[in-house]
Amino acid sequence: MTPGPWQIVLIALVILLLFGGKKIPELMRGLGSGVKEFKDATKSEKKEKEDDDSKA
C-alpha cells in the first residue's frame, strides 16, 4: 500500500508544523549525512567480503 498524493501532502504539513521551517533543512542535512555514512559502511563491508572470498 503506497501513500497517495494527499497523504504525502498531509505528512509534509504535519512535519512543517512540528519542526518549523527553519529546522527542516538541518534535519535533512543530518538525514543525508546519515544515509551517506550508511552507504559508505555497506560499501566497505561488501569490499571486505569480496577480499575475503578472493583469499579463500
Average confidence (pLDDT) over 40-49: 90
Range of the domain at 31: 21-56
Q: Is residue 29 included in any domain, yes or no?
A: yes
On average, the pLDDT of the chain sits at: 87
**16 part of a folded domain:** no
Confirm whether 7 is domain-assigned.
Answer: no
Higher-confidence position of 25 and 36? 36
Place of cell 533543512: 25
| 4 vs 31: CA distance, rounded Å | 23
| Contacts (Cβ under 8 Å, ≥6 apart) of 16 | 24
Q: Angle CA(49)–CA(52)–CA(56) in degrees, nearest 5?
A: 140
Does 13 map to a domain? no
Q: What percent of the chain has pLDDT over 90?
A: 30
Which cell is 4 given?
497517495
Residue 35 has pLDDT above 90, yes or no: yes
Cell numbers representing residue 44 in the block: 566497505
Report if residue 56 sits inside a domain. Answer: yes
Question: Does some domain include residue 49?
Answer: yes
**Number of domains into which the chain is organized:** 1
Choose between 51 and 10: higher pLDDT.
Answer: 10
37 lies in some domain: yes
The span from the CA of 48 to the CA of 41, in Å, is 11
Position 56 scores a pLDDT of 61
Q: Average pLDDT in the 18-32 region?
A: 86
